[in-house]
Amino acid sequence: MAGAAMLAVYSTSGGAGAPAFAVAGGRAATAATRHAVASRVTARASAKSSSGEKSSSVAALVAGAAASGAFALSGNRRGKVSRTFRSSRVKLQAANLEISEENPLRVIIAGGGVGGLMLAKALSKEPTMRCTILEQTNQFARFGGPIQIASNALSVIRDIDETLFNNLMDKFTFTGCRQNGLVDPLRNEWYCPFDAMKTSADHFELPYTGVVDRPDLQEILLNAIPEGMLQNSQKVSGYEVLPDYAGVKVQTKGGEDVECDVLIGNDGIWSAIRAQMWDEDQKGPGSGCTYSGYIVFAGETIYKPDDYFDVGYKVYMGPKRYFVTSDVGRGRIQWYAFVAVGEGEQVPRGPREKKDYVKAAFQGWSQQVQDLLEATPSDTVEDRSLYDRPPSVGRSWADGPVALAGDACHPMMPNLGQGGCQAMEDAYMIVQKLKGCKSRSEVPDALQDYYRSRVFRASAIQGLSRIASDLLLSTFTFPWKPSEGLSSPHGKGRGDFNYNAVAVSYLKYLLPSIFNIQFSFLYSYHPFKWTAAEVQSLVKKTMDRHRKDSEAAWAQREEAVRDGTVGALEEEQKKPSFFTLAAQTK
């Protein structure tokens, strides 16, 4: 629409300017030619450049210079008419570029994942913005598995919308106010508790980190955006930046091109928008994304360990593998088993075989791990190879009116549980920057500003997640315990006296300071602030509901076991999972 309107501006100008050219005669013809050439230069420069911001402004300068030269020439003969022409052209162009409720900024979001939906919600609250999400999947299936939302992201969500936040709290489980940390899997004792999770949140007076089921989060977000904002079965394949701040032409696979003022690539780790912007392959070795060396297996079950209400999550650490368990509400425990597996190495495909593989990989680990695996229905066990990429600090996430967000620009390992949280921070920042724009000509600068505001924080978290993952893979092992002497009662190579085991044993004295810095840094971004009393009341309300839900779920399961209907109960609670969905959408 803006493109068409721009054409209208030029034809109006041409019409108004016609007498001037006619009067100017031969020179005016030269001037008109220059104007036309300038417009073509503008179009070519904008379309070809890899930096829309620079190209638009350079092209505009070239066009402006050529055009003003033309009018100056004609002005020698009929100065008054020419000045009137120029000022009306400028006024018309400015009016067309202006962002207002009548002429809102049209934003297209490629990808309706966590980041895209959150961005859409935030944009929907701005009267000067209109937003459409183009999502490749044909419909949103409910899929299982929890997502951790850390204190920083909770603050972002609350600042975006209070109702959205309250709806989230209705399904939320706080973990950060309970015991969390690294566990020695041989001795089944805390190796390094994450006390800083709570103390850092308390310091900033933030609600604690916690978890919500992904399908619940998705449903909450889908209900929060206006109807019709999301368009399924729309796979974005590329874009073309239009000249003169006329916006972007978004190309869709097998569909029509769509024009808008701003395109945000929220299309995940295998982003088509990033591939074009950074001139990389979308997938494979040329994509910049690499296999992390880990496959993660995941499963979930209704389960009641003795410490269910006291513990948020535990990370059992060992050589080349670790096992994470988390309370995810409604009496359930989710587990993730990270196993170092060479690229291309085969892992079992059938669900029963997958579970057996995980059981074998964690044999001899804490009884809690064994019991949990035993209790997990085989058909909930899934696996996924993990990919990430190193931080791309020097590469802008923006190209004129196009920008990247979320996993598209900073895909990270899940160690810190921050990938989705960072996508939410991106969404928040994009809206902060765009809503400051009065004219479409300010959009490229605003998006560069968004990139500059976000790149160091997101890259630090992305880098930290990668380093943590690499260190775990290369150096971590069972710690040595001085009181057990030189040999270990757990067997050779299992926590006995050797260089790595001793180093890991003493590392635990250093780690609390590192985690303190880490959590302080993570939570230091919090646009919305609560009082300590508000936080406590929120936590109490949420955790009272959590206790009731959990006890009801355990009672229902016990009854099903007694009646011999536990299989039917599990079937009823089964949903296609996050992993399945991710695999389907590749």
Ligand X SMILES: Cc1cc2nc3c(=O)[nH]c(=O)nc-3n(C[C@H](O)[C@H](O)[C@H](O)COP(=O)(O)OP(=O)(O)OC[C@H]3O[C@@H](n4cnc5c(N)ncnc54)[C@H](O)[C@@H]3O)c2cc1C
Site residues (vs ligand X, CB under 6 A): 110-116, 134-137, 147-148, 235-236, 266-268, 272, 296, 406-407, 414, 417-421, 423, 585
CA distance 517 to 514: 5
- Tokens linked to 571: 């079937």
| Residue closer to ligand X (CB basis): 9 or 416 | 416
CA distance 313 to 334: 9
| Residue closer to ligand X (CB basis): 64 or 255 | 255
Say if residue 342 is exposed, middle or buried (CB neighbours under 10 Å; 0-12, 13-18, 19+).
exposed
Q: Give the nearest distance from C-beta 298 to ligand X in angstroms.
A: 7
Are 291 and 273 in contact by the 8 Å Cβ rule? The answer is no
Q: Give the nearest distance from C-beta 88 to ligand X in angstroms.
A: 41
Q: What is the DSSP letter of 149?
A: E
| Residue closer to ligand X (CB basis): 28 or 197 | 197
Are 321 and 368 in contact by the 8 Å Cβ rule? The answer is no
| Residue closer to ligand X (CB basis): 97 or 413 | 413
Q: Give the nearest distance from C-beta 551 to ligand X in angstroms.
A: 25
Q: Give the nearest distance from C-beta 13 to ligand X in angstroms.
A: 37
Q: Give the nearest distance from C-beta 354 to ligand X in angstroms.
A: 15
Q: Give the nearest distance from C-beta 388 to ligand X in angstroms.
A: 9
C-alpha closest to that of 415 among 537, 296, 249: 296
Q: In sequence order, what DSSP letters do the residues of 28-84 get, joined into one string?
A: HHHHHHHHHHHHHHHHHHHHH-S-HHHHHHHHHHHHHHHHHHHHHHHHHHHHHHHHH
Q: Give the nearest distance from C-beta 163 to ligand X in angstroms.
A: 21
- 37 Ramachandran zone, left/alpha/beta (phi>0; psi -120 to 50): alpha
| Residue closer to ligand X (CB basis): 78 or 321 | 321
| Residue closer to ligand X (CB basis): 198 or 235 | 235
Q: Give the nearest distance from C-beta 158 to ligand X in angstroms.
A: 16
H/E element holding 561? helix 532-563
Q: In sequence order, what DSSP letters do the residues of 96-117 get, joined into one string?
A: HHB--SSS-EEEEEE--SHHHH
| Residue closer to ligand X (CB basis): 149 or 501 | 149
Q: Which residue is nearest to ligand X (CB)?
A: 113
Q: For residue 534, how many other CB atoms are within 10 A of its CB?
A: 12
| Residue closer to ligand X (CB basis): 9 or 236 | 236
Tokens 């709570």 found at: 198
